[in-house]
Amino acid sequence: MPIKNTPEENAILFVWFNHYAGVLIKTPSKTLVIDPVDIRSRSFPNSDAVLITHEHYDHLDQRLVKEIQKNTNCKVIADPASTKRLQHLIPIEKLIEINPGSEIHLGEVSIKAEKCNHSASNPVTYIITSEDGVKVFHTADSLPFEELASIGTREKFDVVFCTVGIAAGTSPESGFEIAKLTKPQVAVPYHANSVAYQKKFAEILRKEMPRTTCLIPELNKIYQVSKKA
């Protein structure tokens, strides 16, 4: 499942690898793994960073994060509650706690944390901007919230991941609200164990936001998304 190819100019590659928020993102220079659970550590032989959004079992597997970190010597960026659980497993100089509003640079790639409307201790969402300026918004398990509109206007997202199931209170409708507020070029319904939920999201999107592309990802398949010309 590792991504061997490098994205074309002004593009990123991504893979959705579990039924939750597990996403692998590859920019021209960096490989980022978000919320790895239900997968083997050797699926990520070249990680530059692991990003954790919150401490729930379907997002944080401490042992797995430890293995990936050990194999690749990558950084681990996590919300405060997850940082606490990882502090004795990850070398201190590699573990970075992040809070909404803060930004970390990995070379020319930017990782910014924002608020997340989900019932965990201090959950975050992540805005990843590639060296070419491709903008990805990983909204973790978030339900819609007002500030998403201003974040969307500010960032002009190319891709937004929208939770459509499993997490408390989420549905194709709540996922659609995320897309409606953030106005991406491409909306990706994820965090679901039934394709029916993703298709329902696509149906609402087609009707309400016909100019937004819906990309229903298959698990473990590589997709490329390019920056809006």
Residues 168-196 as b/e (b if ≥16 CB within 10 A, e otherwise) read eebbbebbbbbbbbbbbbbbbbbbbeeee
12-20, 37-45, 97-105, 129-137 -> range binding Zn ion (CB under 5 A): 12-20
Applying CB under 5 A, what is the total number of residues that bind Zn ion? 4
Q: What is the closest distance, in whole angstroms, from the C-beta atom of residue 168 to Zn ion in the complex?
A: 9
> Do 95 and 76 meet the contact criterion of CB atoms below 8 Å apart?
yes
Q: What is the closest distance, in whole angstroms, from the C-beta atom of residue 191 to Zn ion in the complex?
A: 6
State both tokens at 133: 């300026």
| Near Zn ion in 182-211, by CB under 5 A | none
Q: Is 151 in the site for Zn ion (CB under 5 A)?
A: no
Q: What is the closest distance, in whole angstroms, from the C-beta atom of residue 64 to Zn ion in the complex?
A: 15
How big is the chain, counted in residues? 229
Residue 115: HSE in the Cβ half-sphere, 13 Å Cα cutoff? 10
State both tokens at 184: 């991406």
Q: What is the closest distance, in whole angstroms, from the C-beta atom of residue 202 to Zn ion in the complex?
A: 21
From the list 48, 58, 79, 114, which residue makes contact with Zn ion (rule: CB under 5 A)?
58
From the list 77, 167, 222, 225, which residue makes contact with Zn ion (rule: CB under 5 A)?
167
Separation of alpha carbons 61 and 38, rounded Å? 9
State both tokens at 16: 């959705």
| Near Zn ion in 120-149, by CB under 5 A | 141
